[in-house]
């Protein structure tokens, strides 16, 4: 009897945690999205599904913009993180831990403070653009703040470790003798990378995309600090609806809509990449 109960007792703490801090908030938010009323008179559960239709119609531009920004940031992160992770894994030597620590060191500072610091760096006469304008390398009217470039750049900077670390772990598991065998068989460096290294690193890429695309698409700090009214993301709208307008049904409906879209995107990505193939590669 004790043996049968042991697995359930082991998962009980985690199960209670998920129940209290995930399931209960999700059910509460679903209930809010279907209620009508206001903060003064209170809200009543009426099953008002029209809130979803109205919310999507009103903020479809911000929702689409968030997905586009998140996708662009994720693609750039793959291109930027893979060489870093590759170099640390295969050429870091005894200092791998040091390089990883240096990569993570800026992230001991608050997410918000790091984003605000980039606002001061990217101002028209700031540390970066000011000297370039004084040297005549940029026109006087050139600016970065308030543009999609600034917002996407902030996303890339803030989520870079979440892409580097999973790829590094996957590359670290590759047996160097496999790469050497490919070279001994006269495979060119690009062929070795495409046929050996990258397929074996797919589990890390898969995990990195999940860890960056979802939070990047729902982020609101970067768009609020580095963007403008023309770069508003859906997370910023949800934050405003919850905390400024106190429009809880619309905010909850937008939250569920964003979650549903992200889940559909993740499942489509997993199916296109081939989750079974990724798992088989990771087990080798």
The predicted pLDDT at position 162 comes to 94
The secondary element (H helix, E strand) that includes residue 43 is strand 42-45
Ranges of the chain whose pLDDT falls below 50: 281
Boundaries of domain holding 172 = 58-283
Position 84 in a domain: yes
Number of domains in the chain: 1
Position 45 in a domain: no
pTM, two decimals, is 0.88
Both tokens of residue 175?
Answer: 């047996």
Position 219 in a domain: yes
* Contacts of residue 128, Cβ cutoff 8 Å, sequence gap at least 6: 121, 122
The predicted pLDDT at position 196 comes to 87
The predicted pLDDT at position 275 comes to 56
Position 207 in a domain: yes
The predicted pLDDT at position 280 comes to 54
Position 206 in a domain: yes
User: Which CATH number goes with the domain that contains 231?
Assistant: 1.10.3720.10
* Contacts of residue 132, Cβ cutoff 8 Å, sequence gap at least 6: 138
Both tokens of residue 107?
Answer: 């992230």
The predicted pLDDT at position 2 comes to 72
Alpha helices in 19-124 (DSSP H): 24-33, 50-91, 96-104, 111-121
Position 49 in a domain: no
Position 118 in a domain: yes
Confirm if 156 and 76 have CB atoms less than 8 A apart.
yes
Q: Can you state the angle between helices 198-217 and 248-273, rounded to 10 degrees?
A: 170
Position 277 in a domain: yes
């Amino acid at each position: 009897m004790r043996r049968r109960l042991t697995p359930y007792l082991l998962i009980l703490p985690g199960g209670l945690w998920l129940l209290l801090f995930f399931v209960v908030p999700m059910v509460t938010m679903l209930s809010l999205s279907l209620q009508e009323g206001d903060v003064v008179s209170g809200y009543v559960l009426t099953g008002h599904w029209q809130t979803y239709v109205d919310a999507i119609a009103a903020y479809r531009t911000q929702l689409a913009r968030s997905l586009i920004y998140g996708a662009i940031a994720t693609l750039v992160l793959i291109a930027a993180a893979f060489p870093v992770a590759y170099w640390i894994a295969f050429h870091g030597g005894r200092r791998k831990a040091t390089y990883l620590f240096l990569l993570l060191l800026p992230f001991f500072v608050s997410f918000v403070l790091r984003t605000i610091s980039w606002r001061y760096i990217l101002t028209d006469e700031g540390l970066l653009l000011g000297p370039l304008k004084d040297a005549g390398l940029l026109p006087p009217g050139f600016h970065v703040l308030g543009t999609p470039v600034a917002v996407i750049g902030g996303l890339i900077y803030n989520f870079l470790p979440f892409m580097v670390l999973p790829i590094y772990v996957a590359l670290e598991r590759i047996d160097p003798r496999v790469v050497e065998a490919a070279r001994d068989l006269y495979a060119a460096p690009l062929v070795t990378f495409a046929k050996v290294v990258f397929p074996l690193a797919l589990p890390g890429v898969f995990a990195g995309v999940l860890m960056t695309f979802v939070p990047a698409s729902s982020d609101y700090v970067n768009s609020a600090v580095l963007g403008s009214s023309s770069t508003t993301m859906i997370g910023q709208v949800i934050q405003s609806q919850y905390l400024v307008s106190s429009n809880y049904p619309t905010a909850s409906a937008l939250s569920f809509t964003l979650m549903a879209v992200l889940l559909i995107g993740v499942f489509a990505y997993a199916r296109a990449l081939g989750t079974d193939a990724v798992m088989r590669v990771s087990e080798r």
